[in-house]
Amino acid sequence: MNTTDGIRVLIADDHELLRLGIRILLNTYPDIELLGEARNGLEAVELTSQLAPDAVLMDLLMPGSGGIAATRMIREQRPETQVIVLTTFETSELVSEALQAGAVSYVLKNVSSDDLILAIRDAVHGKTHISPAAMQALISATHAPTATKFDLTRREQEVLQLLVQGFSNTRIARQLSISVFTVKRHVSNILHKLGAESRTEAVAVALERKLIH
């Protein structure tokens, strides 16, 4: 950590309004310096290499390269940079994967401003913060029954795999050599079978239930 400039922070999130809110918050603290903002995992890795932040606030589910892969790369390339996951989802699978990738903390986006700042300050000293809901998900997972069978077809499983990787409908169609219309139909079926209202929620369910191998 650069003690002269304070704690140097990078934000990685694909939602512009959320980045704006965090930017405004961080700028009110004299001991925290916002270095830059990334819209996906790949940008986060590149900016970390260029700007050498002390901490990265990392979303997990972003288009293209997601937060878990980015966390792993950042920790391998620059272990002195601490990664704080800042996400909406607290599934046991996501929490476990993020911590295994090297994240020092796992914080939900409904965290209070004071707790987020505390997590940032503690991160540079290697101190872990895990939101209560995320911790409960980890505890519950040890007693969870076998994952429910969602009766996905082989093709739907292939489409779901690509959804988890952040592929758009067009990229999925190209990857599987099918039409975009067919992809949309498969996605609709997947959402219905998983009881999800959005692609993001379907991805979260898939990770939590270990539907992807």
* Segment 113-171, tens digit of pLDDT: 999 999 999 999 888 888 888 887 766 665 544 344 678 888 998 999 898 888 889 99
Tokens standing for residue 150: 């969602």
Predicted pLDDT at 113: 94
Quick one: fold of 154-208?
Answer: Arc Repressor Mutant, subunit A (1.10.10)
Distances in Å between the alpha carbon of 43 and those of 5, 55, 66, 87?
23, 15, 10, 17
The stretches of the chain forming alpha helices (DSSP H) are 16-26, 41-51, 67-77, 92-101, 113-123, 132-141, 154-164, 169-176, 180-194, 199-208
Distant-in-sequence, close-in-space partners of 175: CB < 8 Å, separation ≥ 6 = 162, 167
What pLDDT score does 3 carry?
A: 44
Percent over 90 (pLDDT), the chain: 57
Lowest mean per-residue pLDDT among 33-37, 109-113, 119-123, 195-199: 195-199
Distance CA 55, CA 62 (A): 19
> In the chain, what are the domain boundaries?
7-141, 154-208
| Local confidence band at 213 (pLDDT 50, 70, 90 cut-offs) | low
CATH of the structural domain 7-141, one choice from 3.30.365.10, 3.90.1150.10, 3.30.750.80, 3.40.50.2300? 3.40.50.2300
Predicted local confidence at residue 192, as pLDDT: 87
Which neighbouring-strand residues pair with 38? 12
DSSP conformation class of 60: S
State residue 60 phi and psi, 5-degree precision: -100, -50
The closest of 58, 68, 75 to 13, measured between CA atoms, is 58
